[in-house]
């Protein structure tokens, strides 16, 4: 579809706001609707839109296949490590209050932020990986 | 107002679901499924579940439609006529539209409706579901967590174990897709096939590739040819 | 026992049964997965509807500490994650369909069965 000038121009205009919106959804998720799951999906949607219009090769220059695969596993690792950090600091697994013993609710806030970051990274990585693999399959018999 | 919206959305949802059941063009079925997701996102909003509506709109109507289209580009977009039934490779029989599934569905639905008669009324504040742990979440979140969005607080803190498990499931699904769709090219010296993928030229997933979808007859012939190959 | 208070549960059961019907009556594998998705979405709606409180608000606490009636946040949390897990498992199912198409040349369930039955043992 890369010969369609309207699609190309519109995609170039639309993709940056989508990425920005994903980050807004991520970091505003504590205060309004949103969070890691939604942000990850929206971020992946930006990448998929780019991939549909400009082709897989140019997309994989932006986000190579190894990078998105690493993201998929990195997010789970971030989540689990935040949990382990709670044990290291003397609390329970996934208890964020011990991060700042004097201000438990700030520890909770930090923990939620990190955990949601892990969720976003994983969901983005998974959706992008699945898309890459389906798209690459399509080229096989051509 | 809320009631009218709910009824309208439910009516549209029913119509779209029936449309998915009826159509024999998979492309229109995919689009109808996307509409179904979008309508259900609307219904979630009416039911005060803004986070869920957000997710459903992004996931159901966006990403999963793309996955379906990518699949259709690989497998073709037509459904075979329901009157033809294949029992052996060489023969095709014409069969009546099967009644049995309809009977099963009606009976199951009747049993489920009978079950709802014992359910608490819709929207009552004293329903059992609202009296268990929820009051604690709603009252303590402000002090314990300090995050205004209670859904986020429950998701990431009170029920962090759940979410860790779900994230792992999502990751596992990606591993499954990678194993199913990676291309096995070279065998090593032991004759085993390593998992791998290779760089790809460009992507024309979806719309262009969907057009030359095979007619049902061609598909049958192709299937038979394939089966004869297998048999010989 | 008031019948009218259950109307929306019945609507979800109708949707669920349409999905179930697609799942068991259609032979096309992609169609079956779509039926499963409709089934799944109607279960989601059913869950969310149990969390509704009449006159309630979305469960986001206001800044000024006003006491409002909130809908139940717990089903929201469960369904939120279930939606994302659902799309991931759908992707796995679709990948399986792609592999079946490559191995058998068809995605109609009965053709696949017919070929399986006639393979030399």
Nearest partner of A25 among A44, A48, A52, A51, judged by Cα: A44
Residue C58: list chain A partners with CB under 8 A.
33
A48 contact B CB<8A: yes
> Contact at 8 Å (CB) between A44 and A127?
yes
Indicate the pLDDT class of residue A102, thresholds 50, 70 and 90.
confident
Give the C-alpha separation, B66 to B140, whole Å: 41
CB contact under 8 A, A134 and C98: yes
> Contact at 8 Å (CB) between A33 and B50?
yes
3-state secondary structure of B127: coil
CATH (domain of C25) = 1.10.287.3510
For the ranges B85-99, B143-157, C71-85, the lowest mean pLDDT is seen at B85-99
Residue of A72, A85, A110, A128 for testing the chain B interface, max B β-carbons within 10 Å: A72
Residue B182: list chain C partners with CB under 8 A.
none
| Partner-chain residue, chosen from B64, B122, B231, that has the shortest CB–CB distance to C49 | B122
Residue of B1, B12, B17 for testing the chain C interface, max C β-carbons within 10 Å: B17
| Partner-chain residue, chosen from B67, B87, B162, that has the shortest CB–CB distance to C91 | B67
Give the 3-state secondary structure percentages of chain C, helix then strand then coil, rounded to 5.
70, 5, 25
Better pLDDT: B225 or B42: B42
Give the C-alpha separation, C27 to A28, whole Å: 45
> Contact at 8 Å (CB) between B202 and A55?
yes
Inform me whether the pLDDT recorded for B169 exceeds 80: yes
| Partner-chain residue, chosen from A52, A118, A140, that has the shortest CB–CB distance to B205 | A52
Kindly identify which residue of chain A lies nearest to residue B175, measuring between CA atoms: A126
CB contact under 8 A, C88 and A133: no
For the ranges A49-63, B15-29, B131-145, C26-40, the lowest mean pLDDT is seen at B131-145
Give the C-alpha separation, B180 to C96, whole Å: 7
> Beta-carbon neighbour count of residue B68 at 10 Å?
26
How many residue contacts between A and B have a Cβ separation below 8 Å? 185
Q: From residue A43, how far is each of A20, A75, B49, B90, C77 by CA, in Å?
A: 9, 14, 22, 49, 21
Give the C-alpha separation, A82 to A80, whole Å: 5
Nearest partner of C19 among C1, C31, C3, C9, judged by Cα: C31
pLDDT at B190: 58
The domain limits of chain A are 5-138
pLDDT tens per residue across span B66-87: 999 999 988 887 777 766 666 6
Q: From residue B173, how far is each of A77, B76, B156, B160 by CA, in Å?
A: 16, 24, 21, 20
Give me the domain span that covers residue C91.
Answer: 4-60+67-118
The domain limits of chain B are 1-79+206-232, 83-119, 127-182
- The H or E element containing residue B84 is strand B84-85
> Beta-carbon neighbour count of residue B83 at 10 Å?
11
Q: What is the DSSP letter of C6?
A: G
> Contact at 8 Å (CB) between A119 and A80?
no
| Partner-chain residue, chosen from C18, C90, C111, that has the shortest CB–CB distance to B67 | C90
CB contact under 8 A, C16 and B125: no
CA-CA-CA-CA torsion sign (A118, A69, B205, B26) = negative
CA-CA-CA-CA torsion sign (B139, B142, B144, B145) = positive
> Contact at 8 Å (CB) between B47 and C48?
yes
What residues 79-118 of chain B have any CB closer than 8 A to a CB of chain C?
79-80, 82, 85-89, 98, 101-102, 104-106, 108-109, 112-113, 116-117
pLDDT tens per residue across span B124-138: 888 888 888 888 888
For the ranges A88-97, B36-45, B54-63, B73-82, the lowest mean pLDDT is seen at B73-82
Chains in contact with chain B (at least 3 beta-carbon pairs closer than 8 A): A, C
Q: From residue C9, how far is each of A9, B10, B12, B75, C36 by CA, in Å?
A: 46, 11, 16, 36, 19
Give the C-alpha separation, B204 to A101, whole Å: 54
Give the C-alpha separation, C91 to C97, whole Å: 10
Fold of B1-79+206-232: 1.20.120
Q: How many domains does chain C have?
A: 1
Give the C-alpha separation, B37 to B16, whole Å: 10
pLDDT at C67: 76
């Amino acid at each position: 579809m890369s010969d369609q000038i309207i699609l190309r121009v519109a995609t170039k205009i639309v993709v940056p706001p989508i990425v920005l919106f994903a980050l807004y959804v991520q970091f505003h998720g504590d205060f309004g609707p949103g969070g890691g799951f939604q942000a990850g999906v929206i971020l992946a949607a930006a990448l998929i839109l780019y991939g549909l219009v400009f082709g897989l090769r140019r997309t994989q220059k932006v986000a190579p296949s190894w990078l998105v695969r690493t993201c998929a596993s990195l997010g789970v690792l971030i989540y689990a490590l935040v949990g382990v950090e709670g044990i290291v600091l003397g609390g329970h697994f996934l208890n964020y209050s011990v991060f700042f013993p004097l201000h438990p609710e700030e520890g909770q806030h930090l923990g939620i932020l990190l955990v949601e970051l892990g969720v976003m990274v994983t969901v983005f990585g998974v959706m992008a990986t699945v898309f890459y693999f389906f798209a690459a399959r399509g080229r096989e018999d051509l | 107002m809320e009631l009218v919206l709910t009824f309208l959305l439910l009516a549209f949802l029913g119509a779209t679901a029936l449309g998915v059941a009826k159509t024999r063009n998979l492309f229109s079925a995919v689009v109808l499924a996307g509409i179904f997701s979008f309508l259900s996102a609307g219904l979630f909003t009416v039911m005060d579940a803004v986070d869920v509506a957000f997710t459903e709109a992004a996931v159901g109507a966006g990403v999963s439609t793309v996955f379906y289209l990518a699949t259709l580009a690989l497998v073709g977009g037509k459904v075979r006529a329901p009157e033809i039934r294949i029992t052996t490779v060489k023969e095709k029989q014409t069969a009546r539209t099967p009644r049995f599934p309809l009977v099963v569905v009606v009976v199951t639905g009747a049993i489920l409706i009978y079950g709802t008669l014992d359910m608490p009324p819709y929207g009552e504040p004293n329903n059992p579901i609202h009296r268990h742990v929820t009051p604690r979440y709603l009252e303590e979140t402000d002090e314990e967590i300090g995050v205004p969005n209670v859904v986020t607080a429950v998701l990431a803190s009170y029920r962090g174990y759940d979410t860790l498990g779900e994230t792992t499931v999502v990751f596992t699904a990606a591993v499954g897709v990678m194993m199913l769709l990676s291309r096995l090219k070279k065998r090593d010296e032991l004759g085993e096939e390593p998992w791998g993928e290779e760089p790809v030229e460009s992507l024309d997933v979806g719309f262009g590739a969907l057009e030359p979808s095979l007619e049902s007859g061609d598909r049958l012939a192709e299937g038979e040819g394939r089966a004869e190959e297998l048999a010989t | 026992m008031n019948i009218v208070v259950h109307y929306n549960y019945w609507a979800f059961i109708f949707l669920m049964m349409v999905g179930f019907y697609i799942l068991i009556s259609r032979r096309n594998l992609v169609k079956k997965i779509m039926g499963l998705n409709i089934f799944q979405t109607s279960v989601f709606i059913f869950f969310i509807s149990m969390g509704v409180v009449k006159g309630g608000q979305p469960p986001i606490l206001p800044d000024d500490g006003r006491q409002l009636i909130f809908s139940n946040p717990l089903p929201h949390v469960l369904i939120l994650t279930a939606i994302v897990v659902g799309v991931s498992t759908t992707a796995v199912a679709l990948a399986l369909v792609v592999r079946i198409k490559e191995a058998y040349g068809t995605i109609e369930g009965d053709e696949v069965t017919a070929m399986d039955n006639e393979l030399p043992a």
